Every structure is written in C-alpha cells, then in structure tokens.
Amino acid sequence: MTTSQQERLDRFRARQTAQDRNLFGRISGAALSSRSQAKRLLRSVGTLSITEWRVLWDLVEAGPLTVTEMATIQRTDHALISRTIPPMIEKGYVVTTTGAEDRRTSLVAITPSGHTVFDETSATMAQRRTAIKDAFTEAELDTFLALIDRFERIVEGPMPAVSQTEDVA
C-alpha cells in the first residue's frame, strides 16, 4: 500500500470519526437501523409492514382514530397513513366510517381479523420495547427525551436561529 493510499484511508477514518459526533447523521442512522430491525422482526412473525403495524398498534391502544390523529401520534405524513388504509381494508384488518360530526374525517377501527394479525406480533414487539426499558433507567430516558426535544426544536422550523457567535465550517 502506497503512502497516498494510506493517506486516503487516514482521511476516510478521520471523516468517519468526525461524523460520529454529527447529531444529524447519528440520529438518522439510529432511526434507519431501528426501522430495519422492526421490519425484519415483523417479517419474522407475520406479513404486516411497519406502517400497517403502527396503524394497528394505535387502534388497539386508543380505539378508533382518524387519519390525521394517527399521523400526529406517529409523527409522520398523513399521506402515508392515508395510503396504507385502503389495502388494510381489503385485507380485512380495519374498517372506516365517515365522522358523524365532521364528514371530512374518516374514523378507522380495527377488526377482529386485524386484532389477530396484530396479536401475532405482540410478543416480539413487546420484547423489543423491553430491551429498551432494560437498557435505560427512567432518569436516562428522561434525559434522552429532553435532548431529543431540544434537537427537534432546532429541526422543526424552516431555519434555526443562530447566535451571533456563529462560525462557518
């Protein structure tokens, strides 16, 4: 290996180390790993996709919900939920009714069949949550969530405000 190849490798390693402290990349990486794991686990215990599973979990825990409510709970785009519902109706997992008080809304409810496919995932996904519970104390979880809150305040707006001490990398 030539010196210039070694230098190239050194620069790659330095970059990797530097990015280990980049919160944007770290949070993205953690989220993507989490999603992949969830996907593998769900595939191992049934046929539900991640989004289908999340919908059923919300409905099992909270009863009938609107598309907007589920999107809010799941911190995702309403379009993703909206698109996930019709195939779930076809599979017999959920039913929808137009809102009685607000006919723009549709109220989604789980069916017995939906309960069944959801129940097949429960032990596995509960085990996954337990692993998190075991890994963090309540105080550590509080700290983690407070830090995530702060991060979110920065990434929620169009552009975060910065102090006068800003430096340009």
Partner DNA sequence: ATTTTTTACGTGACAAGTCACATAATTTTT
Partner DNA sequence: AAAAATTATGTGACTTGTCACGTAAAAAAT
- Contact residues toward DNA (CB under 7 A) are 28, 32-33, 35-36, 39-40, 49-52, 66-69, 76-80, 82-86, 96, 99, 101-106
Taking the complex as a whole, how short is the minimal distance between the CB of residue 31 and DNA, in angstroms? 8
In sequence order, the 6+-apart residues with CB closer than 8 A to the CB of 99 are: 66, 105, 106, 107
| 21 is a site residue for a copy of itself (CB under 8 A) | yes
Position among 49, 51, 74, 82 found at the interface with a copy of itself (CB under 8 A): 74
In sequence order, the 6+-apart residues with CB closer than 8 A to the CB of 92 are: 111, 113, 114
Taking the complex as a whole, how short is the minimal distance between the CB of residue 165 and DNA, in angstroms? 29
Indicate which of DNA, a copy of itself, none lies near residue 109 (CB less than 5 to 8 Å, by partner kind).
Answer: none
Binders of a copy of itself in range 150-169 (CB under 8 A): 150-163, 165-169
| 8 is a site residue for a copy of itself (CB under 8 A) | yes
Q: Which stretch, 69-77, 83-91, 113-121, contacts a copy of itself (CB under 8 A)?
A: 69-77
CA distances in angstroms from 104 to 19, 30, 81, 119, 156, listed in the order given: 46, 37, 16, 31, 27
| Closer Cβ to a copy of itself, 7 or 113, answer by number | 7
Type of residue found at 61: E
Taking the complex as a whole, how short is the minimal distance between the CB of residue 42 and DNA, in angstroms? 8
Binders of a copy of itself in range 83-142 (CB under 8 A): 101, 122-124, 126-132, 134-136, 140-141
Three-state SS string over 75-129 comes to CCCHHHHHHHHHHHHHCCCEEEEECCCCCCCEEEEECHHHHHHHHHHHHHHHHHH
What phi, psi does 47 have (nearest 5°)? -125, 5
Which of these, 57, 60, 55, lies nearest to 89 by C-alpha position? 55
